[in-house]
Structures are given as C-alpha cells and as structure tokens.
C-alpha cells in the first residue's frame, strides 16, 4: 500500500463517527394489546472527542436511547454502529466484548463495592479482560491519578466523599480505555460545587480524545456539553429545534 493510501485510510478512520444511529426505533409490547413506542426513528452522529448531552424528562425516551447506545438493549428497527461496528451483526459474546472494550459506564449511584479499596474497585474490570494482576494494579493506579485521586488509592468508598466516589467510578469506566464514556445522571447525587468539578473532569477527558455522552434531565448540566439534544416523546431534536 502506498504512503498516500495509508494516510487517506488514517484520515478516514479518524473522521468516522464513534456513535452513528439511523432510524433507530424501540417498541415495547405491553401486556395489553397496546404497544409503547419508546424511540421513534432516531438519527444521531457523534464523532470522536465530542462532549454531547441528551436531555429530557422522565418518560421521554432518553433512558431507552442510552440503553441502546450502551448495547444493553437491542432496537426494534434501525441501525446502530458503535465505533464502526454494526451491533446487529454481533452474537451475544461479541456484543459483550464490544460493550467491555468500547463503552465505559458512569451512573448516578457510583456502584462501588464497599469492602474494596478504590484501587481494587477500579482494577476489577481488568480481571474480566484477563489482564495480569500486576498490570491491573499499575493501570488502576494510573487511572486514579488521572482523575485526581492518586493519594486515595487505598481508601474504601465509605472513606471518600461523594465526589471522590464518582471520580473512582469514572476511573473504573476508563480502565479498559474505551473510546466512549456514557454517563447517566452522573451529578444527580452530588452537590452543585462537586457536580461542577465532575463536569470539568468530563471536559478534560474530551480534550484527551474521549467521547463523552451525558444523559441528564437538568438543562444547567447539559449546558456544559458541546452539543445538546432534547428527547421529546421518543424523538431526538437538536436543542432549540421546534
């Protein structure tokens, strides 16, 4: 392959979206004859290194969209490509591997194991990836340093503030070096000052070429993102669109 062709391939890979949906829909069958259309023909493109917020009230469809983007559920129709891979082509084992390698999850409730240190909580996903123990420890330590907790590696969750616990959760989400960080109401359990610190951390991660997708009901939180979408009745609209 010529040098020019290699350069073109590299540019094409860099320009490819990390998240791409086309006419993505999800319908839930109720116990009655009625069906619930939770998602209606969603088209979404998110490129590498973007910080995007998806905002909407309870019942708007944003949680359904998050579950589809996170490969936690499958669409009724439409296409979802995660980092260039059409997820509908994957069997359950490959789908689990894609979810492990491509997506880091951050939730409102932190979901840390109380009897484990911050270091062990962060290192835990590497065990599923069969990373050797010494490498797990080193990578977990590096991840905690990257979120400002290098001096708290031996502390258990009960010995950390809410903001510190969320930083541990973010470090854990980043430990497999996924291109996508999917954050569901990550500041919901935090006071406003601590929430601002977590949002500033997301911006630094974006600057480090991570793609951050923030799910929230709070317009003030969403305003920190580069782009904001609003869910209404299962449909996705750019902020400000009618």
Contact 41, 58 (CB under 8 A): no
Contact 231, 61 (CB under 8 A): yes
| Overall CATH class of domain 19-28+36-238 | alpha beta
**9-58 residue pLDDT tens:** 444 555 789 999 999 999 988 665 678 889 999 999 999 999 999 999 88
Rounded to whole angstroms, the Cα distance separating 121 from 115 reads 9
**157-169 residue pLDDT tens:** 999 999 999 999 9
Average pLDDT over residues 208-232: 95
Contact 75, 25 (CB under 8 A): yes
**159-204 residue pLDDT tens:** 999 999 999 999 999 999 999 999 999 999 899 999 999 999 999 9
Contact 19, 87 (CB under 8 A): no
Q: Is 85 exposed, middle or buried (0-12, 13-18, 19+ CB in 10 A)?
A: middle
pLDDT of residue 33: 66
Joined tokens for residue 26: 């999800």
Domain-by-domain residue ranges, the chain?
Answer: 19-28+36-238
DSSP element (H, E) containing 133? helix 133-146
Instruction: Assign 58 to helix, strand or coil.
Output: coil
Rounded to whole angstroms, the Cα distance separating 72 from 21 reads 15
**103-153 residue pLDDT tens:** 999 998 999 999 999 999 999 999 877 889 999 999 999 999 999 999 999
Contact 211, 46 (CB under 8 A): yes
Contact 81, 87 (CB under 8 A): yes
């Amino acid at each position: 392959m010529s040098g020019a062709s290699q350069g073109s391939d590299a540019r094409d890979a860099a320009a490819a979206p990390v998240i791409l949906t086309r006419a993505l829909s999800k319908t839930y069958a109720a116990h009655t004859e009625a069906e619930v259309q939770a998602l209606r023909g969603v088209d979404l493109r998110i490129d590498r290194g973007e910080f995007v917020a998806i905002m909407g009230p309870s019942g708007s469809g944003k949680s359904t969209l998050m579950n589809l983007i996170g490969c936690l559920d499958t669409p009724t129709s439409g296409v979802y490509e995660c980092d260039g891979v059409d997820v509908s082509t994957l069997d359950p084992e490959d789908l689990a591997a894609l979810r492990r390698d491509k997506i880091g999850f951050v939730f409102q409730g932190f979901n840390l194991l109380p009897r484990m240190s911050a270091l062990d909580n962060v290192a835990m996903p590497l065990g599923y990836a069969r990373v050797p123990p010494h490498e797990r420890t080193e990578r977990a330590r590096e991840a905690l340093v990257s979120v400002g907790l290098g001096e708290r590696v031996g502390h258990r969750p009960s010995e950390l503030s809410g903001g510190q616990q969320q930083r541990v959760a973010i470090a854990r989400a980043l430990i497999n070096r996924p291109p996508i960080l999917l954050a569901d109401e990550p500041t919901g359990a935090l006071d406003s000052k601590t929430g601002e610190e977590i949002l500033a951390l997301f911006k630094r991660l974006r600057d480090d070429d991570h793609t951050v997708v923030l799910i929230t009901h709070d317009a003030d939180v969403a305003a920190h993102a580069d782009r904001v979408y609003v869910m209404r009745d299962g449909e996705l609209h750019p902020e400000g669109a009618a």
